[in-house]
């Protein structure tokens, strides 16, 4: 029972991290029609900026703004220099161009920082445990990550549902001309949204820093999982991104924790461990396959 609660919380924490990434990616696609593979790089760059700043200044509280600033600025620069030229292009060019960006960012980190993973310390303030149930301590930092993720989700919902910026975002890529006719600076809006998405990716990256190690390749791994989230939720939909993130975050965490254990009920130990490891590493893709069979456009397809 305690293990289940703990794993549910871990799942929730992964879900909220995935949501931060999926939200930005799905917005960029929904509004600008661009598939951005380098979104994972922004996550990595946020983590690296955070880890480097933490190592230099010795404080998580300086690392956090450093990561946000780095990811946001690099994101905005990316939009201005590259992504802007891709709006009118086909998906193939977009995939290729942003693939080139990934190689560039990975190469730059390898060159400038090195291949060895970086570690980031948990901030002192959040380093303890909270007794969330009798006999069940849970790391404070992870709870804080969840709180931030939840707050961002609420904030995003507010922005999109209630503000003028949200209205413009909801107007979507199809009604671009209409929005433009209303005298809105579309180019500026795009840079803003892209920068916002980058900021969220950087936030996710720096928050994950103290939990996992910071290394090259972390971006792509999480990017592909984020794709699964978006496919499950429905491209272009924030609500879809949220539900997809929950589903995938939980499926991944719970299957990793329990699949070998459950298989041991029927199979011999070693075999159950092997099969369980394989099964849990592909669980999210199986979930995606099922969703595809039932609802090819995801659970919450954006209106077209």
| 94 or 253: CB nearest another protein | 94
Contact status: 110 vs another protein (CB under 8 A): yes
The residues in 132-171 that bind another protein, with binding defined as CB under 8 A, are none
| Strand ranges in the chain using DSSP code E only, listed in sequence order | 129-133, 136-139
Joined tokens for residue 57: 């200044």
Is residue 293 at the binding interface for another protein, with CB under 8 A as the rule? yes
CA dihedral 267, 270, 273, 279 (to 10 degrees): -60
The Cα 54–Cα 214 span in angstroms is: 12
120 vs 198 by CB, closer to another protein: 198
Burial category of 268 from C-beta neighbours within 10 Å (exposed 0-12, middle 13-18, buried 19 and up): exposed
From CA 57, how far away is CA 152, in angstroms rounded?
26
- Give the nearest distance from C-beta 292 to another protein in angstroms: 5
Q: Among 2, 4, 61, 104, which residue sits at the site for another protein (rule: CB under 8 A)?
A: 104
Name which of 144 and 262 has its Cβ closer to another protein.
262
Structure tokens at 89: 């292009």
> Shortest approach of another protein to residue 21 CB, angstroms?
13
Task: Give min distance, CB of 4 to another protein, in A.
Answer: 24
Nearer to another protein, 120 or 193 (CB): 193
d(CA 246, CA 235): 16
106 binds another protein (CB under 8 A): yes
Strand partners, 130: 138
Query: Shortest approach of another protein to residue 154 CB, angstroms?
Result: 27
Instruction: Please report whether residue 97 would count as binding another protein according to CB under 8 A.
Output: yes
In whole angstroms, what is the distance from residue 248 CA to residue 284 CA? 6
Q: DSSP letters of 214-276?
A: B-TTHHHHHHHHHHHHHHHH-TT-HHHHHHHHHHHHHHHHHHHHHHHHHHTTTS-HHHHHHHH
Beta-carbon contacts of 246 under 8 Å, excluding residues fewer than 6 positions away, are 12, 15, 19
Binding characters for another protein, 34-73, by CB under 8 A (x = yes): -x--------------------------------------
Nearest distance from C-beta of residue 139 to another protein, angstroms:
27
Start-to-end Cα distance in the chain: 44
Stretch that binds another protein, among 10-18, 97-105, 146-154, 160-168 (CB under 8 A): 97-105
77 binds another protein (CB under 8 A): no
Q: Which two tokens stand for residue 90?
A: 């086909």
Does 27 participate in binding another protein (rule CB under 8 A)?
Answer: no
Question: Does the protein bind another protein through residue 292 (CB under 8 A)?
Answer: yes
Contact between 218 and another protein per CB under 8 A: no
Residue ranges that bind another protein, judged by CB under 8 A: 29, 35, 82, 85-86, 89, 91-97, 99-108, 110-111, 220, 224, 227-228, 230-231, 235, 274, 277-278, 281-282, 285, 288-289, 292-293, 296-298
């Amino acid at each position: 029972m305690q293990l289940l609660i703990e794993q549910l919380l871990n799942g929730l924490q992964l879900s909220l991290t995935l949501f931060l990434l999926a939200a930005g990616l799905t917005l960029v696609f929904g509004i600008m029609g661009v598939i951005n593979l380098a979104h994972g790089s922004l996550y990595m760059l946020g983590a690296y900026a955070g880890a480097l700043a933490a190592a230099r200044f010795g404080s998580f509280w300086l690392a956090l703004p450093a990561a946000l600033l780095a990811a946001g600025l690099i994101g905005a620069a990316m939009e201005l220099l590259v992504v802007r030229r891709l709006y009118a292009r086909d998906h193939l060019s977009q995939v290729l161009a942003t693939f080139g960006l990934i190689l560039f960012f990975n190469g730059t980190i390898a060159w400038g920082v090195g291949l060895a993973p970086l570690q980031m310390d948990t901030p002192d303030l959040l380093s303890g445990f909270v007794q969330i149930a009798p006999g069940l301590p849970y790391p404070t930092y992870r709870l804080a990550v969840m709180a931030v993720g939840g707050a961002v989700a609420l904030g995003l919902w507010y922005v999109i549902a209630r503000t003028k910026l949200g209205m413009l975002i909801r107007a979507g890529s199809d009604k671009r001309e209409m929005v433009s006719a209303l005298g809105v600076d579309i180019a500026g809006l795009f840079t803003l949204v892209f920068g916002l998405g980058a900021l969220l990716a950087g936030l996710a990256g720096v928050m994950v820093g103290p939990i996992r190690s910071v290394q090259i390749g972390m971006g792509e791994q999480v990017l592909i999982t984020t794709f699964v989230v978006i496919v499950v939720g429905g491209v272009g939909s924030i609500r879809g991104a949220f539900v997809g993130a929950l589903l995938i975050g939980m499926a991944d965490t719970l299957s990793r924790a329990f699949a070998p254990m459950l298989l041991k009920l029927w199979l011999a130990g070693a075999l159950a461990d092997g099969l369980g490891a394989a099964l849990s590493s592909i669980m999210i893709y199986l979930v995606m396959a099922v969703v595809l069979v039932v609802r090819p456009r995801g659970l919450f397809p954006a209106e077209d």
